[in-house]
Every structure is written in structure tokens, then in C-alpha cells.
Amino acid sequence: MTLFNDSEVFQKERPTKPTDAQLDKFYYDSAKEIVNQGYSDSDLEDIVEDLKDLKPFNDSGFEMGKKLDRRSHASYDLSTMFLEHLEGLEWDYRQVNENNVKTWVKAHNIQPQFPKGTKLIVKESLHWKSKTGEELYITGGNPELAVYYVNANPNENGGTVLPYELVEARCSIQE
């Protein structure tokens, strides 16, 4: 038995979204959980179609519930508990992709180039708040997800979470 299949081993870039097969499984598993929790007794396929139409990254559970109440293929018990369940869809979705990143890190043995405490100069913007020439420090990171925590204050333990490859490509070490 192999730890990774060929498509995972040969994917050189960081995974940024679940595969179509993973999304299908995510929606099906979510629909099964909705039925198991008693929030709907409709057909799983109808619930899956409704879930695909929701925007868990943009809407609250309340907003998603309103959408399901207005236009859905299935019927739902729009209780507070169900709305809280809908809130959790974003977390569940993120976990699918986080697992992809962890697999990618293991497959490629991704290692940080900059240790904690490294002083950096931003050569090219890292995100909407960063500026060219800004001084930042590596204040930590998560090696399982291949991310640095960067902060203008070297004494902070956290900071903005950024992928290794982005920081390493757009920053240089300040001696």
C-alpha cells in the first residue's frame, strides 16, 4: 500500500481547493449528516443540490437558512440547531483542503527556509495590508500546513498566516 497516489506526489503546487471527487463526497456526507440529525427527511440528492447552491464562505447559517427556506429542492427543519449546523459547513470544507495541504507537505517534504526570528524585507506585496520595503519577522509557523506567522513586532507569538512559498518568493532576509 502506498502512502500517496501519483497525482498527489506529482502535484508540485500547493493545493488550494478540494478536488471534484472530494467536493462530491463533502456534499453527500453533509447531506447524510443533515438527515441523521433530523433536520430533513428529504432525498439525499435533493439536499446535495441545495448544499451546492449555498455559499458557506459568504453567508452565516441564518442567511443560508433563509435561502433554503425560499428556494430549495428539499424541506428542512429551520431550527436554531440546524442553522448552527449550517455555520459549521465552512469549517468542514476547510478541513478537506487542509488535509490536502498536509498530504502535499508530506509528499514533497516541504521545509521552511526561514527560522523563527528571521528579519525580512518585503520585496513584493504579500497581502492587501503589506507594503514593499516593510520589515517583518517570522514569529512562528505551522510546518504541517507549510505556513509562516509573520508580524512587524518580533516579540509577538503569532501574526499573519502566509504560505512558505509566498513569503520566500516575495521577501529577502534583512541582515
Q: What is the pLDDT of residues 38-94, one digit of tens each?
A: 999 999 999 999 999 987 778 899 999 999 999 899 999 999 999 999 999 999 999
The Cα-based distances of 160 to 41, 105, 163, 165, 171 in angstroms read 43, 20, 10, 14, 14
List the one residue out of 134, 140, 132 whose CA is nearest residue 160. Answer: 140
HSE, CB side, 13 Å, CA atoms: give it for residue 43: 5
pLDDT in tens, 79-133: 999 999 999 999 999 999 999 999 999 999 999 999 999 999 999 999 888 889 9
pTM of the model: 0.79
